[in-house]
Chains A and B, each alone.
Chain A
Amino acid sequence: MATTEPSAAPRPPDAGAAPLLEVDDLHVEFRTRDGVAKAVNGVSYTLSEGETLAVLGESGSGKSVTAQAIMGILDTPPGYVTGGAVRFRGQDLLQLPEEERRAYRGRSVAMIFQDALSSLNPVFPVGWQIAEMFRVHEGLSKKDARARTVDLMDQVRIPAARERVNDYPHQFSGGMRQRIMIAMSIALDPDVLIADEPTTALDVTVQAQIMNLLADLQRERNMGMILITHDLGVVADVADTIEVMYSGRIMEQASVHDIYGAPAHPYTEGLLRSIPRVDLKGQELSAIKGLPPNLSRIPEGCEFRPRCPYAQQICHDTRPPLLEIAPGRFSACHFAQEVLEGDFDNAEQ
């Protein structure tokens, strides 16, 4: 094996060749009393070492559910993976029995949640919750685990870490709590870090600090990072690749540079228009009109059609597949080229 990484997680024989993380045609549905909500409908993406992949989309587009399926922490019932694969260095995690899969959590793939207050256990000290990673996964003694914990809290820049290890989550500010979540998630030096809207619940001033911390840690440790957000502004500086999700499907996939230069999907275009930009100062922000579809009744044809200013008859009849429209650029729109080249600029909006 060509790898020298210390991670003790099991490896399949072809680990060297396989990508770090590969989500392949993933399908997830929620079976509730109100019907079957198809939350993820054939999502595929690949993440490499050191890459930051941003998953972008309005609330309810299936970003978190995709992440939960990768982690194996879906609420089951009502949530079920109905198809696809999640391969970590070639090993399909979805095929593993629970006990084997557990070995990957925290150690190979770790996750940070949006709301650190509710995601931390209210009745245990934060140091205890971080140290638990060392004690359970590595069998460290209380004393050693505590030393590592203080160290880690220093690394995520929590002031007076040694004095604060025994404090409880509610005694910290929102930003500090998110740092504790981050410390916990990187404790075992994971290869993949999933951050699900890590700054959404925070003050604007704190948001930048947390994003910087995440970016630094990611670079230092060469982690693959999946950054979930509904805020295009957040990702511009840190992401390499962007996946735009809508209605449980990838609508556009491209490098940050390409997407900011010119979107190749009307939905991306709408998202871009809804963020404040320095060069367009004074112009009114336009949110995309309408609402995302009900996931129990996704319309025929293109999912975005009811809200799309460019929709034609073909959009009604045929669902556009995600196709490569330029090297490294993918779009699920019948008129991707036209959108990309701005030929639709005169369409009514």
Chain B
Amino acid sequence: MGRYVIRRLLQMIPVVIGTTFIIYTMVWALPGDPFAGKCGDRACPPAYISMMTAEYNLDEPLLVQYGLYMVDLMQGNFGETFRGTEIVNELLQRYPTTVQLAVIAIVFELVIGIAAGVVAGLRRGGFIDNLVLVSTLVVVSIPVFVIGLVAQIVVGVQLGWLPVTYDGTVYSLILPGFVLGSLSLAYVARLMRTNLVENLRSDYVRTATAKGMPQKRVIGVHTLRNSLIPVVTFIGADFGNLLGGAIVTEGIFNIPGVGNMIFRGIRDREGATVTAAVTILVLVFLLVNLFVDLLYAALDPRIRYE
């Protein structure tokens, strides 16, 4: 197991290098002048341009630019934005917010998604089952920004239960967290339901009944444990997606998170900002995936890594 983890960690190195290179190249290779519009209405002064050109090695070939940039990155030097703020400060400010948002989304997926799936699966064809099937279908087919706006209007404005936009508190992240998690929540509910229904028909569940186990134990111990395995691993893998995929939700609720930072970075051609933010995302994503694989093995004894 230990060797497996080390091997997986080593495999991450080329993946990180590859992805960051692609991102770096794409951001800087975008057509157009990187200094367009950076200095108000006027063209930027030549002194500024030459300073920035030197800072980012813009004269060098792309590969060299990238290499020099990565060397800086390895030393913890994330560079500055064109406006002169330290990128590392911005990352430190934004990542915690995005992580909080993702965690809230995951909690919703876990609690509501699994509960809805279990109730639906146990009463197949019943009212709750149909309700879950229809509502998850609706959620899956509606764009996130529509869900976000409706949630703002209904929960935030009409009912007044939760803040409409982000005000710096975790409390105001509950509604956006729900919106962010809604799509995966629907998947989790369906996945849970399908697994449960399938496992309820399995031979080992029939064995448990034949052993004279009480119905509660047959479902709660013998069926649930197996049904949860794919769901838990889905949710684990989803954490990575939620971190990077919160752009729309962050926009709707005015949350200064990572998604928002990357979006502005791309728009303003802040290559260093985008690359730094995405590099961290990629790293987190890879680590989460490793964690999920280990979790999978912990839940299902049939899986062993060497």
Contact = CB atoms under 8 A, between A and B. Distances in A.
Interface of A: 71-73, 75, 98, 102-107, 110-111, 113, 115, 118-125, 132-133, 136-137, 168, 170, 181, 184
B301 interface: yes
Contacts of A184: 207, 211
A295 B210 CA distance: 26
Interface range, B side: 20 to 34
23 contacts: A75-B201, A102-B213, A105-B209, A105-B211, A106-B210, A106-B211, A110-B210, A113-B207, A115-B203, A120-B204, A121-B204, A121-B207, A121-B208, A121-B226, A122-B204, A123-B225, A123-B226, A123-B300, A124-B225, A133-B212, A137-B212, A168-B301, A168-B302
A103 B299 CA distance: 31
A172 to B, nearest CB: 12
B215 interface: yes
Given A136-B217, A168-B301, A120 B210 contact: no
A131 B300 CA distance: 20
A136 to B, nearest CB: 6
B217 to A, nearest CB: 7
Given A118-B203, A118-B204, 18 more contacts: A73-B206, A73-B209, A102-B212, A103-B212, A106-B212, A115-B203, A118-B202, A119-B203, A119-B204, A121-B207, A121-B225, A121-B226, A123-B226, A123-B300, A136-B213, A136-B214, A168-B301, A184-B207
Given A136-B217, A168-B301, A168-B302, A120 B212 contact: no
B106 to A, nearest CB: 23
Contacts of A72: 209
A122 B300 contact: yes
B301 A123 contact: yes
Nearest to A167: B301
A98 B202 CA distance: 20
B210 A105 contact: yes
B302 A122 contact: yes
A107 B202 contact: no
Contacts of B212: 102-107, 133, 136-137
Q: Which of B204, B214, B229 has the most CB of A within 10 A?
A: B204
Contacts of A106: 210-212
A72 B226 CA distance: 23
B122 to A, nearest CB: 14
A107 B213 CA distance: 11
B190 interface: no
> What are the nearest 10 A-B pairs in CB distance?
A105-B212, A106-B212, A118-B203, A121-B204, A168-B301, A119-B203, A106-B211, A119-B207, A111-B210, A73-B209
B269 interface: no
Contacts of B203: 113, 115, 118-119
B222 interface: yes
A123 B225 CA distance: 8
The interface residues of chain B, by DSSP majority, are classed as: helix
A132 B221 CA distance: 11
Nearest to A104: B212
B173 to A, nearest CB: 35
Given A105-B211, A136-B214, A123 B206 contact: no
A63 to B, nearest CB: 16
B88 to A, nearest CB: 44
B215 A98 contact: yes
A104 B202 CA distance: 22
B214 A73 contact: no
Contacts of A118: 202-204
Contacts of B229: 123
Contacts of A104: 212
Nearest to B215: A98
Contacts of A121: 204, 207-208, 222, 225-226
B201 A122 contact: no
A102 B215 CA distance: 9
Query: Which of B207, B215, B301 is the most central at the interface, judged by chain A CB atoms within 10 Å of its CB?
Result: B207
Nearest to B226: A123
Interface string B209-245: 1111111010000100110010000000000000000
B28 to A, nearest CB: 50
B204 A133 contact: no
Interface string B38-71: 0000000000000000000000000000000000
A120 to B, nearest CB: 6
Contacts of A125: 301
Nearest to B206: A73
A118 B198 CA distance: 13
Contacts of A181: 207
Nearest to A133: B211
A103 B212 CA distance: 6
A54 B139 CA distance: 55
B210 A122 contact: no
A105 B300 CA distance: 28
A238 to B, nearest CB: 22
Nearest to B208: A121
Interface in B170-193: none
Contacts of A71: 210
A123 B215 contact: no
Nearest to A114: B203
Question: Which of A71, A103, A122, A137 has most B Cβ within 10 Å?
Answer: A122
Contacts of A170: 301-302
A115 B210 CA distance: 15
Nearest to B213: A136
A30 B67 CA distance: 69
Nearest to A108: B212
Interface string B246-284: 000000000000000000000000000000000000000
B201 to A, nearest CB: 7
Identify the interface centre among A107, A115, A121: most chain B CB within 10 Å of its CB: A121
A88 to B, nearest CB: 13
